[in-house]
Structure 1
């Protein structure tokens, strides 16, 4: 075995990353030092590196590594996990081994054959997880090497499409609409700066899913109800080309959508393909006719016949299927006759030409005469076009063996791409063995009835839309019981696939790109499992396993729907299981984002936590405690949120791992921060940031929120309040940068909101406005209702700081009303304090006093004590303004606020209160006392000397030092509006 392994890898030593593999010596080194690796793991590595970039089936790996021993897949997974650990796969961005669930494994890192200097080759990383690999979302399919007979169509469309918002390529099925659209997309890549996105609508059966398909193709995460509004928000100012393929069965829905895009996003150009016009406003139609063929070949020379594109396509495909095929003038004329009978349709030509390799031209021509009846001659109604395709496929179908027919029919269960193993699992049963299915698959691929799907990964296949519909019709006509059985096997296959992907850590940290390509199959499987003759137990497990997929793709409404349906179908055997846990957890999260902070959210999350406790599943307990903490935080119930955080600390301590403690520390730190206990908050938040792994989107989706980023923004605000303005700015800016890189809109919005105080505190109102504008754009693009409601209030606060308190009042009042209607109270305390201040500055002191009293009462009730010193200070200022000759009540409030800010460690708030007290003392003639108090507080600061507060404090100290009487001092300070 060793000799075979060593000799099978050409060229001896192979390098990848910091490693070097010497097969002959069975030695692996890292940076020159020998690596301790087991024999089986080394054999696995050698087998994988022998074929870099290719998926090696599990059976083949078992045969190679355990040639004389019968072992199970579990042994392979165990040793593969050990090999990944040795290679530090997944750490610091390193990617070496990719798992194709249900298929096998591939070595995906670039390799160099060190002993072949002349032919040294670096293989490109094929892994979808690699940084340099392009995203599969909306990727333009590969163009075919040669496009026959369409150059004039391409030229016309590339010239005219740029001047119109919507062009539709219309023609019968199989005429080549998609091929033409893809070619145009490639030619216009440079014109649209590579922003060309392809949307295959063939896998969709429901019109309401069209907006989600477009959003996914554009790479737009959607977490709100109105998907198309989110899409329009993202592309409103963009210039891009959107290719919508296979529109005919969804024409009504697509017409509305493309008109909306045309109205809202003038820079977007749409190229659609359909069997009939969309009949949308501003639509320009390009009718795609058949490939040209000679009506009569008599008198034509060989070169004249071969000049027709239909003939060129036929011969090219026929020769490719049989390289010994010779074409003379007589054969070329026979080909022209066949093409004429096929009406120059590209797909029937391709299907027919490959048969020539086995049947010959004469027999093929006879079969066409017997089996084909192409009665449609350019009519636009659907039925004749269907008859034409029916005739084309009938001919191919009758040439199939019985096993090939049954295989083709049962493959219609797939709505999208499928693997070789998936086909075996779904097709094979007691009537057809796996070996016969495998042989039939090979035959169907050779006969072009199954197409390779390059966009879905290695060894992926799919049925063309028309072929699937035809096969489905045949299956239902022949054996409805077999059709239902195949559909259930299809559902079970995707259940196993999803559960296998989730088995490692309960998330989609690996394999999401491949699973995302299966969304059509997952939806189809769910529909069958929940159908009238479905399987309830299967449906519940499938909904639970697919929930992370819907969450990862930001299909929250769909996630909510399937989870609710599954929970309604729970029986006694499913209650209290891991499946119910996942369903309740996903339902709670999707409800929170799509329908707000309702009681149903709390019910779902509490039930999920109850199950996690019963199952002693501490990791899920921690995940759910985090969601409950954030739910009550968003509700404004900070005291209860703090209780969940303390419970999370206990669970994390039981888990005993850094990642768990990072999450729990984040929750505890934020709770202390909101309670105003910054001295306690800071170490928790710093510990969370220190222990947290780098932010990754899959981890954010898994937990529901990015706890590392939330820790950073809370730490930034704590640092600012504690008087460390420069460090607060640095942390806030890093949090915003990380959130932007994460491509998770919710996280990005939160980071921008809490970055605002650092800009305002430094007096950088230009930067503050830019931040708020970015927040508004992001919130509107994603239809985040609560954040949109908050933006008006935040703009009002900025207007107040700039001295425009008249404008501020209305903006803040409207924002508060909208936030309270959404039960989103996280920002209402600070905005209420700003409203009170604005009302007072506008001379409406009694209203201001009423607002600030209600605010103080609310913070006492809900535990939102971070703002209590500021609220007390504002109330004192209002009372002093109302009754300047009776300052006792104001003085009492000032002292209460000052003492509280000191206990909280809120030095920045302490400074503002000290400036108020110093001015009051100065007006009372107590200049020395005023100077002493302010100097004591001011001298404690070690950074942030250019912030507005410190500059105000310095100016006030200088004024107090100059004047012997406050009446001698004239001073304009900015902190009064903050």
Structure 2
């Protein structure tokens, strides 16, 4: 038998389940508008092939063989289903299908009748012929037979591929030879089918041919399959030559689908077709390109999914991956709309499936049964690999596992081994990492680089250029599949150990290069998944914990730089605990102590553990003589003491920092130290000294032309700017202070890490509230609160909630405000965030008195004053004492003398601080009280002096009130 004949048998013949009669070779039967070709088991209507199931066709042959006779159901079972157990209901089902195909009963046509209780009979007149078979149907129809299945129609909704289909359709008309290349399940065949649909009018149905090579396993059958599809008559022994001759002067669109396993033979044939048949347009789908002249390759990308961690439903549905998910979920019985609550879950599912359409469809089809959250739980165990899809697709596309099996079996042994070893990587990895982990011959083994290039070509590994660097990545589904294969090969432990060793060495080199800093770590962000995995493995093996300690110490700057605080705290804590009794370098321990203190302060509150870590780190730096990290640790201790409300202690540490910085030849450190001292004086109650040190720091910054002010997780330049805004207001320039406060909030909105925005809002918004500006205060408060909650910054969440409660009280919403203030106080006490507790208590007392709860208000403000005096928080005393006086004045039993004493005490403390703004805030109600007592001259003298001392006369409600009172007293 010739190769062509073998190809023709393989492609065209669909073996029957049994022969229903033994007609002569080439026999045909005609009835009505139908013709049945026994040899080819082909049913035609008006010359066009009719789709009919194999069993239904067997039934038709059995009935025609005994036309005019009654054939019982038992006879039909014996003829069509011999050796197969089928009940009579099965006969009825297939008979009904056959009748629908024939159009039995429509327009008076009668072919098969049911004789009650006896069986079926074929009653239409028939004409038998033993002449040669009629010519084959046109190529477009014949293509359905040539591939063993109908060319896949485009899906009812083509999601996310419209632009690709449009551009490739146009490109195919001009370039003639397009290859759609991509990983399995990415939708290559779907896109090709849509292109065919769009171009049918350009070529005509009879000139469009679809060849599915997935049904062919031998290269020698490639040419024969195409010959059969296009309707070429063979007269020689070389089908390829005959095919080229046949197509030389024809205009056709030919689709070669699923070519990756026959790449050499198809590449040769496609090259010849392109060169010698100028009217033929070739559309190829494959997991790797053919790499022949004339080919234009389109790399089909995954569907885009949301990059935001918490998208709303509307934002998520703007991406094609989520659109496809919801469309297929709806088809699978899910009847709900996507909610804002579920949108992040669906986005994560699309991310987990890498935007691969087949994976998304398989997962989404189960949403009707399991729900969105249930499907998300399934994915946690790589269940998507085994979920089955539609039954009317090729077997290799019914599950992801089958799809990956298909790809894996096409690989050479070395390629299989390297692919399995690459599963050790999480996320992105480099060529250097590949050689170190996947090679048995050392880190510079050329064979591994060649294999990696091959895996890229075969769409099993993706290339990710980032800036000047080139990274690689396995899709998550491929990685899960390859990891299982690695376990089966017994190499899992060996490769994971190599993986951990490599990243320990890499980050040791980076730590030496960076000097332990953690700013601008974005370039190392691609390594984060692999660092996590290496740490998990190292600390889970007793004999590898040393690697874990070293890697944790060297990699904590990465966690801090990316602001992954909870993870940083976890790994630094593990490493510090494991360092006990070991002889580790001081530098590594100091780095771990700083990382633990910083991450704990933001995620776990201002605990004694934080203070102990900072003080231990400072002791080590002084003992070891290493001065480099001292500024970091001192800044950390200063911030810690400030946050807990120990303003005097924070000032002392700031003075210590200035002394160290001035003893070093480092202008950036000197600027940061001056700003730190400015903050210390501001909160300790010396606003003139605060202004002097803030300005000194800014002069140093100007002289050096800018500096990196990120120390201990804070942008100290922003911290100085917000302090400058507060001091400006307190020194009598409220308009300038508010303008700067708003500018700092705006600048910090895009600053990293996320703590900087929270800090700027928490300490700039009070400036606006001091001025009575409630209109522009609310939006930043709400945003800071959401920011803090999203990033689990609990101390800042408490402080933001306190500000919101104060705003509600100021705007007459006392009931809601009191609830928020009480909740805020619980959070602040839990996190030991004492810096804003006095202001929160003052707002609470104010809300209580406005609600008529005078006794509670008096007790609250008295307790706040007592605590502030006891712990040395002089900064808040002017406002606390003023509020005390106002509460006494508003009580049912007014005590004018007690009120005046509170106001005068507040005035003395404000003057002691040089806080002119606070002097005015207390002078206004005091002047009103004096007027009530007929002491107009005293009121005028008091208020005029403070009012005139202000450099600005607008920008605060207090200035407007003072002006009004003064005019009424003239």
> Which of residues 504, 508, 525 in structure 1 aligns to 2:514?
504
Task: Select 2:738's aligned residue among 729, 732, 735.
Answer: 729
Deviation at 1:732, TM superposition (A): 0.9
Matched, 1:817 2:826: yes
CA change 1:934–1:494 in 2 (3 A) is same
The corresponding residue for 1:907 is 916
User: Hey, what does 1:262 align to over in structure 2?
Assistant: 339
Q: Deviations over 1:113-137 (max 9, x none)?
A: xxxxxxxxxxxxxxxxxxxxxxxxx
Alignment partner of 1:461: what SS?
A: strand
2:158 maps to: 156
Structure 2 residue corresponding to 1:864, chosen from 873, 889, 893: 873
Once the two structures are superposed, residues 809-837 of structure 1 have per-residue CA deviations (whole angstroms, 9 ceiling, x without a partner) of: 44433432343233222222112123333
- Give the alignment of 1:217-616 within 5 angstroms: 231-232=309-310, 235=312, 238=315, 241=318, 262-264=339-341, 270=347, 272=350, 273=353, 274=359, 276-277=362-363, 279-280=366-367, 386=401, 389-390=404-405, 392-398=407-413, 400=414, 410-428=421-439, 434-435=445-446, 437-438=448-449, 451-454=462-465, 458-463=469-474, 480=491, 484-502=493-511, 503-510=513-520, 512-532=521-541, 534-575=543-584, 577-616=586-625
**Structure 2 matches for 1:45-60, cutoff 5 A?**
none
Relative to structure 1, the CA distance from residue 667 to residue 150 in structure 2 (aligned partners, 3 Å threshold; closer, same or farther) is farther
Distance 1:805 1:241 in 2: 41
> In the alignment, which residue of structure 2 is the partner of 1:705?
714
- Given the superposition, is the C-alpha separation of residues 877 and 445 from structure 1 closer, same or farther in structure 2, using an over 3 Å criterion? closer
* 842, 845, 853: which one aligns with 2:862: 853
Query: 2:505 & 2:479 partners in 1: Cα distance?
Result: 24
Deviations 1:830-860 (A, max 9, x none): 1212333343444443333322221111111
Give the number of the structure whose alpha-carbon radius of gyration is greater: 2
Do the aligned partners of residues 416 and 654 (structure 1) sit closer, same or farther apart at CA in structure 2, a change above 3 Å counting? same
Instruction: Go from structure 1 to structure 2 and tell me whether the alpha carbon gap of 1:431 and 1:868 turns closer, same or farther (over 3 Å shift).
Output: closer
Distance 2:841 2:681 in 1: 21
3-state secondary structure, aligned to 2:154: helix
The answer to which of 942-951 and 693-702 deviates more is 693-702
Question: Within 1, Cα distance between the matches of 2:753 and 2:742?
Answer: 17
Kindly state the Cα deviation for residue 419 of structure 1 after the two structures are TM-superposed: 2.6
Q: Name the residue aligned to 2:778.
A: 769
Describe the SS at the equivalent of 1:925: coil
Tell me, yes or no, if the aligned pair for 2:713 and 2:753 is still in contact at 8 Å. Answer: no
1:894 aligns with 2:909: no
How far is 1:244 from its partner? 7.1
Residue 834 of structure 2 aligns to a residue whose secondary structure is coil
Query: Are residues 493 and 178 of structure 1, via their aligned partners in 2, closer, same or farther at CA, if it must alter by over 3 Å?
Result: farther
Cα distance in 2 for residues equivalent to 1:647 and 1:259: 62
Shift of 1:395: 4.4
Task: Quote the Cα distance in structure 1 between the aligned partners of 2:540 and 2:818.
Answer: 55
Q: Spell out, residue by residue over 1:655-689, the C-alpha distance to the aligned partner (whole angstroms, 9 max, x if none).
A: 33222123222322222111221111112223334
- Worse-superposed segment, 884-893 or 829-838: 884-893
Report the CA distance shift for 1:388/1:926 in structure 2 as closer, same or farther (over 3 A): closer
Structure 2: how far apart are the matches of 1:650 and 1:698?
Answer: 20
The equivalent residue for 2:640 is 631
Residues 490 and 525 in structure 1, CA contact (< 8 A), matched pair in contact too? yes
CA separation of 1:176/1:842 partners in 2, compared to 1, >3 Å: closer, same or farther? closer
Q: Distance in 1 between matches of 2:826 and 2:542?
A: 49
* Pair 1:748–1:534, CA change in 2 (3 A): same
Match of 1:94 in 2: none
Deviations 1:606-637 (A, max 9, x none): 33333333333333221122222222322223
Counterpart in 1 of 2:117?
none
Secondary structure, aligned partner of 1:518: helix
Alpha-carbon separation, structure 2, partners of 1:696 and 1:492: 42
Q: Larger deviation: 754-763 or 729-738?
A: 754-763
Aligned-residue offset at 1:881: 5.6
Counterpart-to-counterpart distance in 1, 2:796 and 2:184: 48
Q: 1:457 to 1:522 in 2, by over 3 A?
A: farther
Match of 1:645 in 2: 654
**Cα distance, 1:568–1:241 mapped onto 2, change above 3 Å:** farther
CA distance in 2 between counterparts of 1:527 and 1:776 reads 33
CA change 1:694–1:713 in 2 (3 A) is farther
Structure 1 residues 763 and 424, CA gap change in structure 2 (3 angstroms): same
* Cα displacement (A) at 1:720: 0.9
Which residue in the other structure is 1:927 paired with?
Answer: 936
Shift of 1:708: 1.3
Work out the CA distance in 1 between the residues paired with 2:529 and 2:152: 31
Count of residues in correspondence between the two structures: 653
Partner of 2:763: 754
1:803–1:451 distance in 2 versus 1, CA, 3 Å: closer
Residues of 1 paired with 2:888 and 2:599: CA distance?
Answer: 46
Kindly indicate whether the alpha-carbon contact (under 8 Å) linking 2:429 and 2:472 is maintained by their aligned counterparts in 1.
yes
**Equivalent position of 1:618 in the other structure:** 627
TM-score where L is the length of structure 2? 0.59
Shift of residue 470, structure 1, vs aligned partner: 6.5
Contact 2:710 2:716 in 1 (8 A): no
Cα-to-partner distance string for 1:769-807 (whole Å, 9 max, x where unaligned): 333333344344444434443444433433443455566
Cα shift at 1:716: 0.9
Within 1, Cα distance between the matches of 2:798 and 2:190?
Answer: 42
Residues of 1 paired with 2:665 and 2:336: CA distance? 56
Q: 2:723 aligns with which of 686, 707, 714?
A: 714
Q: Is the 8 A contact 1:507 1:698 kept in 2?
A: no
**Partner of residue 314, structure 1:** none
| 3-state DSSP of counterpart to 2:613 | helix
Shift of 1:951: 0.9
Please give the per-residue CA displacement for 1:718-775, whole angstroms capped at 9, x wherever unaligned.
2112211122122212211210121543211222222323333444332123333333
Q: How does 1:114-193 map to 2 (within 5 A)?
A: 152-153=154-155, 155-158=157-160, 175-177=184-186
User: For the structure 1 residues 898 and 283, does the alpha-carbon distance in structure 2 shift closer, same or farther, using more than 3 Å as the test?
Assistant: same
Cα distance, 1:447 vs structure 2: 6.7
For the aligned residue pairs, the C-alpha RMSD in angstroms reads 4.4
1:939-954 mapped onto 2 (5 Å cutoff): 939-954=948-963
8 Å CA contact 1:237–1:265 kept in 2: the answer is no
Measured in 2, the distance between the counterparts of 1:701 and 1:638 equals 22
- Aligned in 2, Cα 1:269/1:447: closer, same or farther, shift over 3 Å? closer
For 1:640 and 1:444, locate their aligned partners in 2 and report how far apart those are by CA, in whole Å: 61
Ranked by relative contact order (alpha carbons within 8 Å, sequence separation 6 or more), the top structure is 1
Residue correspondence of structure 1 range 70-85 to structure 2 within 5 A: none
Indicate how the Cα distance of structure 1 residues 605 and 160 shifts in structure 2: closer, same or farther if over 3 A, else same: farther
Tell me the residue number matched to 1:837: 846
Cα deviations by residue, 1:514-542 (Å, 9 ceiling, x for unpaired): 42122222222223322426522221111
Alignment gaps of 5+ in structure 2: 1-150, 164-181, 194-303, 326-331, 354-358, 373-391
Q: In 2 relative to 1, CA 850–694 (structure 1 residues): closer, same or farther, beyond 3 Å?
A: farther
CA contact (8 A) 2:160 2:320 kept: no
Offset at 1:954?
1.0
Question: 3-state DSSP class of the match of 1:277?
Answer: helix
Q: Distance in 2 between matches of 1:179 and 1:693?
A: 58
TM-score (norm 1): 0.59
